Amino acid sequence: MMKQREVTTPDNTQWTCVQAYSAQDGDAADKAATLSQTEDGGVPVVCTPSGGAQTIRLELELDWLENLSDEELTQAIQAAQ
């Protein structure tokens, strides 16, 4: 199952964020996740807004799903817009 998070920015846009390469299962997914890590240990995350606005790509910490607060995630989205 693809892990994702949904957050709403102050302009009331709902964003669905998923880690790139997270749609696979098992060892292949682990390898893909490792390959997708950047040199400083971040991972690419794609955030898609409701209403068809521009999709954005973020680079977040590896543990962003569990440990990044909603506020930090919305700030990253706003900074990338």
Q: How many domains would you assign to the chain?
A: 1
Full pLDDT tens readout for the chain, 81 residues: 568 999 999 999 999 999 886 444 455 555 555 555 566 678 899 999 998 778 999 999 989 999 999 999 999 999 998
N-to-C CA span, the chain: 28
Distance CA 77, CA 62 (A): 17
Sign of the CA dihedral running 57, 4, 13, 7:
negative
Listed in sequence order, the residues at least 6 apart from 26 whose beta carbon sits closer than 8 Å to its beta carbon are none
Residues spanned by the domain of 71? 4-80
Q: Cβ distance 42 to 62 under 8 Å? A: yes
